Structure 1
Amino acid sequence: MDLTIQSIQFHLYRFAFREPFQTALGILSHREGFVIEIRDRQNRIGLGEAAPLVGFGMESLAETEEVLRGLQKSLVNAEIQSLKDIKKLLKTCDRTPAAKHGIELALLNLLAQSQELTLSQLLANSCSGEVRVQVPVNAVMGAIAPDLAANKAQSYIEQGYRCLKIKVGTQDFELDLRRVAAVRSQVGNDIQIRIDANQGWSVAEAIANLKRLEFLHIEYVEQPVAAADLEGMAEVRRSQSIPIAADESVNNLAQLQRVIQTQAADIIILKPMVLGGILTAHHAALIALQFGLDVVVTTTIDGAIARQAAFDLAASLPIQRACGLATEHLLAAYQERI
């Protein structure tokens, strides 16, 4: 197998949201990042995507570009034969997770091609060897008006979704409660509903609010309190019945270990772009599963290349919960190349 890097190219893209997407962290109007193309001497092409997202402990877009320009020069003529080679080449990029994700993904896609495998098969071969053909996914909606949320939920159900994720954690909990209640009333009890507070509550607020939400049969709540407050999140977990999912609290493997040690969560949300790549996310998933936690793979509302990679990751893992991979409908259909 001859896999020697010949060239690295990348370009900036920007997607507009079809409508402003409101979370407890703010309103998103567009998503931007870089598409990366790595070509080897056999003229094979591996695609990657690097798209930092504000509020998730990631680097800026300018910092992503700076790292990509450096790697564009330093990786030419590098030889790759295994996953270990990819890890070694990118070991200095941990402080810029989006850039690392993008280059790593392009290299993984090249390595998979060279071995005549899909990315999911390449990942699965490092553990169970089993790949799922289908991965259940959730639909997601922002912190919108209750009547609009109910209508959107009905539309999602008609499209075949069986799991809905609703943003909460805004400054108006009564509105959050009405939003979730309206969706539950619209879809009935056979549909799973999960909520995402994006660190929007204090510990006391989270306990009180979640107790009021219990009657709506919530699958789990993502990140009810500040990411760094693991003791507080553990208290929330002990004080009410809705399972807790750690999201922003898990930006790296060290943070995952702290979540496990403090018993702060029942479920771990893994975002490959935030974690610095598919390989780190895969390793994190195996650690979480080993300690009895459930795993959900999600995107950071990325473009098609990163979404496909997140699907491949989920398909390579022995996990059952719906994953957050169906986000393409949130973005405009066209891609603006800059």
Structure 2
Amino acid sequence: MENIDKLEDYNIQYIEEPVNDKNELIELVKTIKIGIAPDESIENIKDAEELINLGNFNFIVLKPSIRMGIYDTIKIIELANENNINVIITSAYETAVGKEMLLYLASLTNHNYAHGLNTETLGIDIFDSSINYNLPKINLDQNLFSYQINDDIL
């Protein structure tokens, strides 16, 4: 943490959860110019609401499939959008089915920053999805939830 201010001259959008303590995170965001994005500090909707209402963060990172589910994630996105806070949706090794739900949740945010959805290179999925997550932008006009089971893997 003592060297984090040395990064201020670089074009860094945000640093994701650079400290382990939530109170330390809250103090850190007040003292540096680089964006700080809470991630692990957000265990549930109450934590997210608390950090959003502080008004010190420009970004928050959510892992819906691990921590809060779809309904609470939508509520958090709505609150963040109202407060001009950028929600970054990230995946945690979901199959194509879960990943497409995360893509939908990411579409509810009101910014053009990249979300953390490109994890298919980390393992084998039993579903073949028609969506290319390597693109800089994903066209939501394509047919979501159109996947086939990959019989070669089963």
Tell me which interval the TM-score lies in, with the shorter structure as reference length. 0.7 to 0.9
Task: Give aligned pairs, total.
Answer: 129
* Structure 1 segment 120-135 matched on structure 2, within 5 A: none
Which amino acid is 2:101 matched to?
Answer: A
When normalised by structure 1's length, the TM-score is 0.35
Residue in 1 aligned with 2:23? 231
Deviant stretches of 4+, over 3 Å: 261-264, 332-337
* Deviation at residue 308 of structure 1 after TM alignment: 1.0
Q: Distance in 1 between matches of 2:54 and 2:79?
A: 15
Pair 253,293 (structure 1): closer, same or farther in 2 beyond 3 Å: same
1:312 aligns with 2:104: yes
Q: Is contact 2:45-2:68 (8 Å) kept?
A: no
Residue in 1 aligned with 2:88? 296
1:217 aligns with 2:11: yes
* Deviation at residue 264 of structure 1 after TM alignment: 4.9
Q: Is contact 2:37-2:57 (8 Å) kept?
A: yes
Paired residue secondary structure (1:272): coil
Residue in 2 aligned with 1:243? 35
Which amino acid is 2:123 matched to?
Answer: L
* Deviation at residue 216 of structure 1 after TM alignment: 2.6
More relative contact order in 1 or in 2 (CA 8 Å, sep 6+)?
1
* Higher CA-based Rg: 1
Q: Is contact 2:39-2:61 (8 Å) kept?
A: yes
Q: Is contact 2:60-2:86 (8 Å) kept?
A: yes
* Deviation at residue 262 of structure 1 after TM alignment: 3.8
The percent identity for this pair of structures is 28
Q: Distance in 2 between matches of 1:245 and 1:304?
A: 26
Q: Distance in 2 between matches of 1:325 and 1:331?
A: 13
Q: CA RMSD in A?
A: 2.1
Q: Distance in 2 between matches of 1:264 and 1:289?
A: 14
Q: Distance in 1 between matches of 2:53 and 2:74?
A: 20
Structure 1: runs of 5 or more not aligned: 1-205
Which amino acid is 1:281 matched to?
Answer: T
Paired residue secondary structure (2:40): coil
Pair 233,314 (structure 1): closer, same or farther in 2 beyond 3 Å: same
Q: Is contact 1:233-1:265 (8 Å) kept?
A: no
Which amino acid is 1:220 matched to?
Answer: Y
Paired residue secondary structure (1:295): strand
Name the one with the larger helix percent. 1
Which amino acid is 2:45 matched to?
Answer: L
* Deviation at residue 282 of structure 1 after TM alignment: 1.0
Q: Distance in 1 between matches of 2:80 and 2:89?
A: 12
Residue in 2 aligned with 1:275? 67
Name the one with the larger strand percent. 1
Paired residue secondary structure (1:275): coil
Paired residue secondary structure (2:42): coil
When normalised by structure 2's length, the TM-score is 0.73
1:254 aligns with 2:46: yes
Match of 1:329 among 121, 135, 138: 121
